[in-house]
Structure 1
Amino acid sequence: MNTEWRQAIRNFYEAKNKAWLTGDGENLVKMASRPEAIRACLKDIEALRRSALARGVQYRKSRTNVKILKTTPVRDGKIRVDLLEQMTWIYNDGVEVDHQARLQPIRVTLDHSEGRWKIEKLDSIGEKEERSLIKGQLDFRAFDHELGTRQARYDRRKAQRYAELWWNGFNPQYKKFEVDCTNYVSQCMHAGGMPMAFNPRKDRGWWYRHQGGNASWSYSWAVAHALRWYLEGSGRAAVVTNPQQLKIGDVICYDWEGDGMWQHNTIVVDFNHEGMPLVNAHTVASQRRYWDYKDSYAWTEQTKYRFFHIKDAF
């Protein structure tokens, strides 16, 4: 029985790898006990392929590594499996061959009631999750910040190296957040030389500190909405209107619904042959992802962006 459900998961990911390249999700549907169980998965595949078509990109290879973290028997002959999936795509953009990757925690519930294991439910942490953290908090439009007298310079290559080192992992010197995109971007900027702006209030400055074995941090360090307003109000970054004006180590902020609630941040790590940014991110851990996120089911026609060029000196 243990071998059978593991084989069902292997079969699912083999079919998913093919679906990324062909767009045909029929075999995936057959592996689910009901179509609704994998609706989000199919939307994710559709979004990636729609984005590729719009950019003239052709995916050549898809590879997924799956690590099973935990298994839990549940009622009625079902089993719940927590796993980590790392997807890597090789693509040709018409000029050069490149890759992008994502790492995502998944919870799969499998049902054996029909005589073989089928997927009953598939849950994942997505880019939309931070909205629940924003509601009920303050509007972080104004920030005090305290800077030292020594001038610091922003080393973009150091920020890039840190972003590449930790895109699919967590630095143990910092708290790991379930919704980690802003914490990750803040770490990258700090690694590049942006000094912390300490303040005793969590809704002021930009900081992370350890005190007696306990960690504390400003909202702007860990919440996307707060970091977006901190960057604009602190004088540490300049707003630019075009993504091609950005440099390595710069930051892009995302408002999925276009309603003024900023839910996601990424850091620029490279550019394609057209000068368009490729970004790294956490929550859905992403490496060298095309900046506009139209390959994400979180993206909508109302999505707004804010492009921040981090200053070279502070």
Structure 2
Amino acid sequence: MEWREFVQQYFQAVHQSSMDGKYERLLPFYCTGESGVQEEWDRLNREKRKIEERGVKLLAVQGQVTPMCWVDTDATIEVTVRWQENKTLGIKHTKYKEANKRLFQLQLLKTNEKWSIIGARESNGDQKLVVEEEEEPVIVVSGVEDAINQPMLIVHGAGGYNAANAVAYAERYWNTTNPVYPRFTDDCTNFISQCLHAGGIPMLLSKEMGKGWWIRTGKGASWSYSWTVAHSLYLLLKSGGPPMRAVMKSSAAELVPGDIICYDFNGDGRFQHNTIVVAKDANQMPLVNAHTTDSSMRYWAYEDSTAYTPKMRYAFFHIRGV
């Protein structure tokens, strides 16, 4: 069997297992005992448990897997694929669609004419390296071309926070890039800042990256840490000051569309990810959109994330605006 066919069969099995909950069908694909395989196995089972806890029924799964690049050595093949997964879920007689676009890396080993997976992980997923205040995020230009010919939502000044406009922006650009803005390798906070600005939150301009909340695009583009770094935005929201005048809430259930969730995956007080609430499910729990692992209508808790740890903490913010 050629490795491309093996990879296709694996993701077909993943989708089928998502539907019926029988993840044991994936075991023949794995080389048991490998730590990279165990992490992915644990992630899949966390996702299964969370669906059961929520009382959600998975009605349909569609996916597309495209090999992007691969390195072929004498013993192994390391392949990076783009995995677009679309789910239709039902809960309390209502339906909604969740979508995630991931870069996924598989390490394959062939022994006795049979392929097996010895490593599986998300590439450039939810887990972020902590960006120190003096470091700048890295810009990537891939993906910008897809958005060049698409219409943009225009921000007409600021007169308070219009959550509906912020949500509309999050829905429009969850899996693409507004060409007005740069795209970063870790793009989650840049995306959330764009959503807030589209909702009418005005920039606080400054000449210093450590002050205000702003971005200058075009030639010589620059930006504040609070616009692009997850922990810096968290600190601004926590302050309750302008321009968001956010109010911290005690639980996810208190949030409404347009509000923000911050994620501390390691539980060490440094927040590494941000999402925006775009809807609530039939249990009145938030569904969120995000970048880096581009996600639409994803359940807020992120227990299906490769960045998940048992120590994960959240911060919930209602956005009031000026």
Give the shorter-chain TM-score range.
0.7 to 0.9
Give the 5 Å matches for 1:2-13.
4-13=2-11
Name the CA distance, whole Å, in 2 between partners of 1:117 and 1:274. Answer: 43
Name the CA distance, whole Å, in 1 between partners of 2:273 and 2:104. Answer: 20
The answer to whether 1:292 aligns with 2:290 is: no
Q: Identity of counterpart residues, as a percentage?
A: 34
Name the counterpart of 1:187. 194
**Offset from partner CA, 1:5-56 (integer Å, 9 cap, x none):** 2111110011111222333333322123445243232222111111112111
**Offset from partner CA, 1:173-210 (integer Å, 9 cap, x none):** 32222222111111111111111111111111111113
Q: Secondary structure at the match of 2:106?
A: strand
Name the CA distance, whole Å, in 1 between partners of 2:29 and 2:51. Answer: 26
The answer to whether 1:265 aligns with 2:280 is: no
Q: What RMSD, in angstroms, separates the aligned Cα atoms of the two structures? A: 2.3
Q: Where do 5+ consecutive residues of structure 2 fail to align?
A: 135-156
Deviation at residue 109 of structure 1 after TM alignment: 2.7
Call closer, same or farther: CA 1:10–1:111 in 2, change over 3 Å: same
Q: Where do 5+ consecutive residues of structure 1 fail to align?
A: 139-149
Q: 2:179 aligns with which of 172, 176, 189?
A: 172
Name the counterpart of 2:223. 217
Name the CA distance, whole Å, in 2 between partners of 1:28 and 1:57. Answer: 22
User: Is the contact made by 2:182 and 2:217 (CA closer than 8 Å) also made in structure 1?
Assistant: no
Name the CA distance, whole Å, in 2 between partners of 1:297 and 1:7. Answer: 25
Name the CA distance, whole Å, in 2 between partners of 1:241 and 1:48. Answer: 24
Q: 2:96 aligns with which of 95, 98, 121?
A: 98
Name the counterpart of 2:264. 255
Name the counterpart of 1:143. none
Name the CA distance, whole Å, in 2 between partners of 1:214 and 1:34. Answer: 50
Name the counterpart of 2:284. 275
Name the counterpart of 1:226. 232
Name the CA distance, whole Å, in 1 between partners of 2:121 and 2:308. Answer: 18
User: Which amino acid letter does the alignment assign opposite residue 276 of structure 2?
Assistant: I
Call closer, same or farther: CA 1:25–1:151 in 2, change over 3 Å: closer
Q: Secondary structure at the match of 2:315?
A: strand
Q: 2:109 aligns with which of 97, 108, 111?
A: 111
Name the CA distance, whole Å, in 1 between partners of 2:310 and 2:109. Answer: 36
Deviation at residue 270 of structure 1 after TM alignment: 0.8
User: Is the contact made by 2:188 and 2:291 (CA closer than 8 Å) also made in structure 1?
Assistant: yes
**Offset from partner CA, 1:237-259 (integer Å, 9 cap, x none):** 22222333322211111122332
Q: Secondary structure at the match of 2:169?
A: helix
Name the counterpart of 2:150. none
User: Which amino acid letter does the alignment assign opposite residue 117 of structure 1?
Assistant: W
Q: 2:160 aligns with which of 153, 162, 166?
A: 153
Q: 1:26 aligns with which of 15, 24, 27?
A: 24
Q: What is the aligned residue count?
A: 296
User: Which amino acid letter does the alignment assign opposite residue 270 of structure 2?
Assistant: M
Call closer, same or farther: CA 1:300–1:122 in 2, change over 3 Å: closer
Q: Secondary structure at the match of 1:294?
A: coil
Name the counterpart of 1:146. none
Name the CA distance, whole Å, in 1 between partners of 2:76 and 2:82. Answer: 20
Deviation at residue 220 of structure 1 after TM alignment: 0.8
User: Which amino acid letter does the alignment assign opposite residue 21 of structure 1?
Assistant: M
Q: Normalized against structure 1, the TM-score is what?
A: 0.85
The answer to whether 1:125 aligns with 2:123 is: yes
Call closer, same or farther: CA 1:32–1:275 in 2, change over 3 Å: closer
Name the counterpart of 2:250. 241
